[in-house]
Amino acid sequence: MTDFTYSVDADGVATITWDVKAKSMNVMSTDAFALLSELIDQALADAGVKGVILTSGKKDFAGGMDLNVIAQMRAGGAKAIFDGVMTMHTVLRKIERAGMDPKTLKGGKPIVAALPGTALGIGLELPLSCHRIIAADNPKAKIGLPEIMVGIFPGAGGTTRLVRKMGAMMAAPFLLEGKLSDPKSAKAAGLIDEVVAPGDLLARAKDWVLSAKEADLVKPWDAKGYKLPGGAPYHPAGFMTFVGASAMVMGKTMGVYPAAKALLAAVYEGALVPFDTALKIEARHFTSVLMNPSSTAMIRSLFINKEALEKGANRPKVADQSVKKLGVIGAGMMGAGIAYVSANAGIEVVLIDSTQEAADRGKAHSEGLLDKGIQRRKVTAEKKAEVLARITATTDYAALSGCDLIVEAVFEDPKVKAEVTAKVEAAVGTDCIFATNTSTLPISGLAKASQRPANFIGIHFFSPVDKMALVEIIRGKETNDTAVAKALDFVRQIRKTPIVVNDARFFYANRCIIPYINEGIRMVAEGVEPALIENAAKLVGMPLGPLQLVDETSIDLGVKIAKATKAAMGDAYPDGAVDAVLFWMADQGRMGKKANAGFYAYDATGKREGLWDGLAAQYPVADTQPDLTTVQHRLLMAQVLEAVRALEDGVLTDIREGDVGAILGWGFAPWSGGPFGWLDIIGAARAVEVCDHLTATQGDRFTTPQMLRDMAATGRGFYPAAGAAQAA
């Protein structure tokens, strides 16, 4: 074990250097923690050592805890987790006390954290236990506690220390939202103590160690008369903070994220007791969060599997296909967005539309986004000029010469798409890959217009392109591996998350979203109170209720999709009841948010005001309303069963893609880890029971898939049991 090395210089300053040899970023393991503890003991015991610098041998300090450690802790059950966490607390507390007499607070040795770059999670909790945190002025570095983003919270004292350092109100964005800061902002917020030029980092740390006074080593919470900044819970100001924080967290999370609730409880209860007891309380709540299946599911989908997909878990083994010159055809909402994210990633882009004016408008979209970035100080004028210089807006297909990838984003009309395909193929080389951004038209059908169907693929972006992280790659019947690799390499270049699915109506994401919206609208037709429909969805963790979602995507798009689906399915079309409502809304001119009128009412500026009260005149609210759970089961199962069917049909080939795609694509209840994660949480046997009941009461659209019945019979889940899945 050499994750930490130890040296002492001629002036008696010890340096403990963190450098995990096998990894590009330091992550903490159980063994490394034990070694760190030994080295601290060594420094404290050595009379020749005056103080300690804790730093990193890499350009960054640390990325956080090794997630396998968390998995191992989980596998041992609650007691093992609690004991493991308490061991960490003991080591960090030893650093904080640094050998001082607990009564007189004298006799300790100064320990300083010197951060060359990024310091996340335990990579900040460890420095927070030191007496001073000095960071190199590295604007790319990220400093913070992002644990909440993957369903846990800072459990190695970070929660308790940050609240005591800054007060609950100031610590809230860092703990509850996982806010990350560059070193200067971290210093301004009080997260760290000092920022110095990168070349001066170690010299300044040494100076501090050699000049530190005994009082500099005493943490405020260990000094007599300490009071929580901003007030403890029973102080009038503190009371307001805690009440406000609870309301804010419940408002934002609807109570479905166990980590947010546990974090709040740890902060509140911890603020009422002495520091060491607060650490114990933090450890208990952390244990409860780790034991909750939601945290396993969130870490799995939002961290491990998301990263695996980004690194090309399902990439065919062909040579690097990075895109050098991209052609985007159609400079409308989607094409303009695709051009922007690509140019921003350093790719040369030719943006074509049928008129120069439309092409220029598409390019102006990039300019607008870059200007916003400048206003927010995220983009420089040079960067803006560079990005814009990479985009050529034109009507001339000859400019596509030399492109190695084309993304077509013209009107959703097979005829227009076929014409464009032929024009592009006449202008580009035979190796060029042609991708369509269609959202509804089967790829294999569109590929018929191509001379080279093996090079033809779907790359389905979500709107708005610059914000949405998911890209759905669709393999047509004849699409070859090189085209898939090209699409995956392109998605990696623009730093988004890909899933690869096979070709079928609506691919994967829209296939699941549409039944969700339809189930909501169907309930309106049945007389279910619209507020019950919307709130039931939100209370189970959906970011938008189905009626708000259809307002956002527009009622006319819904009508268009319904008509096309009906035409394709004929008598088998199951959604007549939905269409009655949808078509009536369209007849009323209530086309959704863009028309300032839909299932919701909007004010003149487009702000949503509340559910539209005119709906009840046509669809009166029934006297008897279903219970909340029934509404939630209908809304969730409508999506989840479609995901299972997509897996059964071979549209999805990897449940990881199904789960990551659902959360990033349409915000499927992130606390559950995705549709398959949710099924594993409730268990196949319960899922079968729910589906059988819904089939009996609602109809065949809830028919239990055979796959679920088989799983219920054998007691299997989609993922291996918790500990095993994480360790894999």
Residue that is written with structure tokens 């084309």 in the block: 406
* Dist CA 341 CA 37 (whole Å): 46
| Window of 62-70, 222-230, 260-268, 409-417 that interacts with ligand NAD by CB under 6 A | 409-417
For the chain, the farthest-separated pair of C-alpha atoms sits apart, in whole angstroms, at 88
Q: What are phi and psi of 39, to 5 degrees?
A: -65, -35
Neighbours of 691 (CB within 10 A): 21
According to the binding rule CB under 6 A, does residue 56 interact with ligand NAD? no
Burial of 411 (0-12, 13-18, 19+ CB in 10 A): exposed
Regarding 556 and contact with ligand NAD (CB under 6 A), the answer is no
Name the minimum Å distance from CB 420 to ligand NAD.
Answer: 5
**Binding residue for ligand NAD (CB under 6 A) from 122, 180, 409, 662?**
409
Q: Which of 7, 90, 380, 463 binds ligand NAD (CB under 6 A)?
A: 463
CA 254 – CA 264 distance, rounded (Å): 14
- When binding is defined by CB under 6 A, the residue of 176, 334, 406, 652 that contacts ligand NAD is 334
Closest residue by Cα to residue 279 from 45, 97, 31: 97
For 120-230, where are the alpha helices, taking DSSP H only?
A: 122-129, 158-166, 168-176, 183-189, 201-211
The residue among 222 and 353 lying less far from ligand NAD, judged by its C-beta, is 353
Q: Which of 410, 427, 435, 473 binds ligand NAD (CB under 6 A)?
A: 410
CA–CA gap between residue 368 and residue 364 (Å, rounded): 6
Q: According to the binding rule CB under 6 A, does residue 449 interact with ligand NAD? A: no
Minimum distance from residue 664 beta carbon to ligand NAD (Å): 14
Q: Of 99 and 543, which CB lies nearer to ligand NAD in the complex structure? A: 543
Of 346-354, 501-509, 529-537, 647-655, the window that binds ligand NAD (rule: CB under 6 A) is: 346-354
Q: In the complex, what is the shortest distance from the CB of residue 332 to ligand NAD, in angstroms, rounded to a whole number?
A: 2
How is residue 283 written in tokens?
A: 């450890």
Judged by CB under 6 A, does residue 564 bind ligand NAD? no
Q: Which is nearer to ligand NAD, 439 or 672 (CB)?
A: 439
Nearer to ligand NAD, 538 or 560 (CB): 560
* Region label for 434, one of left (φ > 0), alpha (ψ between -120 and 50) or beta (otherwise): beta
Q: Is 358 one of the binding residues for ligand NAD (CB under 6 A)?
A: yes
Token reading at 453: 């169907």
Residue 511 one-letter amino acid? R
Give the integer Cα–Cα distance in Å for 219 and 165: 9
Does 354 help bind ligand NAD (rule: CB under 6 A)?
A: yes
Strands 608-611 and 143-144: unpaired
| Binding positions for ligand NAD, 86-115, rule CB under 6 A | none
Active site residue 460: yes
The one among 189, 318, 416, 469 contacting ligand NAD by CB under 6 A: 416
Residue number, 437 or 632, with CB nearest to ligand NAD: 437
Q: Which of 504, 526, 541, 562 minimizes the C-alpha distance to 256?
A: 541
Residue 498 interacts with ligand NAD (CB under 6 A): yes or no: no
Stretch that binds ligand NAD, among 116-124, 331-339, 383-391, 511-519 (CB under 6 A): 331-339
CB of 513 to ligand NAD, least distance (A): 11
Q: Write down the least CB distance from residue 666 to ligand NAD, Å.
A: 12
Please, which residue, 423 or 538, has the CB nearer to ligand NAD?
A: 423
Q: Which is nearer to ligand NAD, 136 or 343 (CB)?
A: 343
Angstrom distance (rounded) from CA 324 to CA 488: 14
Q: Is the dihedral of CA 528, 532, 535, 539 positive or negative?
A: negative
329 touches ligand NAD by CB under 6 A: yes
Which CB, 56 or 342, lies closer to ligand NAD? 342
* In the complex, minimum distance from the CB of residue 341 to ligand NAD, in angstroms, rounded to a whole number: 14
CA 557 to chain centre: 27
- Binding of residue 665 to ligand NAD (CB under 6 A): no
Instruction: Give yes or no for residue 233 binding ligand NAD (CB under 6 A).
Output: no
Q: Which position's Cβ is nearest ligand NAD?
A: 332
User: Is there binding between residue 574 and ligand NAD (CB under 6 A)?
Assistant: no
Judged on CB neighbours under 10 Å (0-12, 13-18, 19+), 274 is exposed
- With CB under 6 A as the contact rule, the residue among 100, 217, 331, 722 that binds ligand NAD is 331
What is the total residue count of the chain? Answer: 728
Q: How far is the CB of 427 from ligand NAD (least distance, A)?
A: 12
Q: Which is nearer to ligand NAD, 513 or 688 (CB)?
A: 513
Partner residues linked to 601 by β-bridges? 597, 610
State yes or no: residue 412 binds ligand NAD (CB under 6 A). yes
**Smaller CB distance to ligand NAD: residue 357 or 710?**
357
Choose between 19 and 412: whose C-beta lies nearer to ligand NAD: 412
Determine which one of 89, 285, 365, 460 is catalytic.
460
Of the candidates 93, 98, 79, the residue with the CA atom closest to the CA atom of residue 125: 93
To the nearest 10 degrees (0 to 180), the angle between helices 628-648 and 706-714 is 100
> Least distance to ligand NAD from the beta carbon of 582, Å?
18
Instruction: Give yes or no for residue 641 binding ligand NAD (CB under 6 A).
Output: no
Measured between alpha carbons, how far is 196 from 204 in angstroms, rounded to an integer?
A: 8
**Residue 78 CB, nearest distance to ligand NAD (Å)?**
45
Helix (H, G, I), strand (E, B) or coil at 328: strand
- How do beta strands 456-461 and 433-436 pair? parallel
> Which part of the chain contacts ligand NAD (CB under 6 A), choosing from 323-331, 371-379, 396-404, 717-725?
323-331
Size of residue set near ligand NAD by CB under 6 A = 24
Shortest CB 510 distance to ligand NAD, Å:
9
Angle at 75 between CA 72 and CA 78, to 5 degrees: 105
Q: Which stretch binds ligand NAD (CB under 6 A): 109-117, 181-189, 325-333, 494-502?
A: 325-333
Contact yes or no for 417/408 (Cβ under 8 A)? yes
Among residues 377 and 415, whose Cβ is nearest to ligand NAD? 415
> How big is the chain by its Cα radius of gyration, in Å?
28
Structure tokens at 680: 């594993």
Tokens of 6: 């130890």
Residues 422-441 that bind ligand NAD (CB under 6 A): 437-439
C-alpha 499/C-alpha 493 separation (Å) is 15
Minimum Å gap between C-beta 17 and ligand NAD is: 49
- Shortest Å, Cβ 408 to ligand NAD: 8
Of the candidates 14, 122, 228, 420, which one interacts with ligand NAD according to CB under 6 A? 420
Cα gap 4→499, rounded to integer Å: 38
Strands 470-475, 456-461: pairing is antiparallel
Name the segment binding ligand NAD (CB under 6 A); options: 259-267, 350-358, 602-610, 628-636.
Answer: 350-358
Region of 178-186, 412-420, 516-524, 632-640 interacting with ligand NAD (CB under 6 A): 412-420
Residue 252 to residues 102, 303, 423, 662, 724, Cα–Cα distance (Å): 42, 21, 49, 20, 32
Tracing tokens 């009422």 back to the chain, one arrives at 272
**Cβ distance to ligand NAD smaller for residue 61 or 508:** 508
| Exposure on the CB side of residue 176, measured as CA atoms within 13 A | 24
For tokens 């690869």, the residue is 500
Four-point Cα dihedral 76, 79, 82, 83, nearest 10: -90
Number of other CB atoms surrounding residue 188 within 10 Å: 12
Residues that bind ligand NAD (CB under 6 A): 329-335, 352-354, 358, 409-412, 416, 419-420, 437-439, 460-461, 463
Catalytic residues, by residue number, are: 460
